[in-house]
Amino acid sequence: MAIPDKDPIVVAPMPTPFDTGDRVDHGMLVRNVERLMPTPLGGFVLGTINGEENALSEDEKAAIVRTVAEVAGNERLVIAGIDNPSPSDTVRQATRFTELGADLIRVRIPRDLEPGAVIEYFTNVLFRSPSPVIVIHQTPTREPAAPPEVIGAICQMDNVYGYVTDHDIRFESWVRPRVPEDRKFWTCNGSLLLPGVLIGANGAMMWLGNVAPDLAVEIVRLGYQGRFNPAREKQAAAAKLDGEIIKYGIAGVKASLELLGWEGMRPRSPEPAAPYEVRAILELALREAGLLG
């Protein structure tokens, strides 16, 4: 599709549906994507932590990109995620995913590299990637993957569409002035939608967009319009829901989506599914949020 530039844009990382044999079920994937097509979400992100990227082979990820691109057509962004410290292999995957229908490539900042090596990595990737890149800064530790000035330098390079924050809003407030205004700056979490807008975010990429797409988009829109008082109440509801579900990790996200009618929402083995008592807690949280009748 024509890559949008009108803000705000909110996208969601898609969970992967598995059948009872632990295989990716593309029929279920199609129906789950179709559930989101009438919502105000701007697109889908594939090959993410929320999509159990570490449990998927590259071929499985590629097939998922192809399936979602066929369903989304020209109506939604299709964003393929890559987390790979090798620039040449990142470009190879980016080329493959682009050929299968990805509009954008989401590239995670490599961990444990010196600042100069991070710059070199992105110089190589951005010059050779066939699709524009969204740089994502999320790490499994509390240590940032790169200093603010390095992230800013990356975001000023050609072929960068935008940047997705990590969860440290203080750190990201130092990054924001270094990211050009003509690049996207998206917050990464349902509990940080309004705080993200307050430091200059013009969109979001977070798993809550699957569970509560209308709520997530409305918070970002209200904040982007400067209507903070009506946004605060909605943000409180989103943060409460986000906090309750994330206690149980991907199993909690998938159990919540299954309660909402999604198919194939069992984590891939050996990750256990949410037990009955957790599902009961999540069902109550969804009802209190007005997402279940």
Compute the average pLDDT of residues 86-94: 98
Torsion from C-alpha of 22, 29, 191, 248, nearest 10 degrees? -20
pLDDT recorded at residue 2: 67
pLDDT recorded at residue 3: 81
What does the pLDDT look like over 186-242, one tens digit per residue?
A: 999 999 999 999 999 999 999 999 999 999 999 999 999 999 999 999 999 999 999
Asked if the model's pLDDT at residue 142 lies above 80, the reply is no
Does CATH number 3.30.1490.70 belong to domain 9-230?
A: no
The residues, any chain, with a CB within 8 Å of residue 133's CB and separated by 6 or more, are 94, 104, 105, 106, 107, 125, 126, 159, 160, 161
Residue 70 CB neighbours (<10 A): 14
Q: Write down the pTM of the prediction.
A: 0.96
The residues, any chain, with a CB within 8 Å of residue 270's CB and separated by 6 or more, are none
pLDDT recorded at residue 49: 86
Specify the 3-state DSSP secondary structure of 39: coil
Specify the 3-state DSSP secondary structure of 77: strand
Span between the terminal Cα atoms of the chain, in Å: 35
- Alpha-carbon distance of 153 to 126, in angstroms, equals 13
Pairing relationship of beta strands 160-164 and 133-136 according to DSSP bridges: parallel
Nearest alpha carbon to residue 268 among 13, 14, 23: 23
Per-residue pLDDT band for 184 (boundaries 50, 70, 90) equals very high
What does the pLDDT look like over 93-138, one tens digit per residue?
A: 999 999 999 999 999 999 889 999 999 999 999 999 999 999 999 8
pLDDT recorded at residue 4: 78
Sketch the domain layout of the chain as residue ranges.
9-230
- Alpha-carbon distance of 152 to 80, in angstroms, equals 22
- Spatial contact of 243 and 48, defined as CB atoms under 8 Å apart: no
Compute the average pLDDT of residues 34-48: 96
Asked if the model's pLDDT at residue 141 lies above 90, the reply is no
Compute the average pLDDT of residues 237-256: 96
- Alpha-carbon distance of 227 to 264, in angstroms, equals 38
Q: At what angle do helices 276-288 and 228-246 cross, to 10 degrees?
A: 170
Phi, psi of 139 (to 5 degrees): -125, 155
Cis peptide before 230 (omega within 30 of 0): no
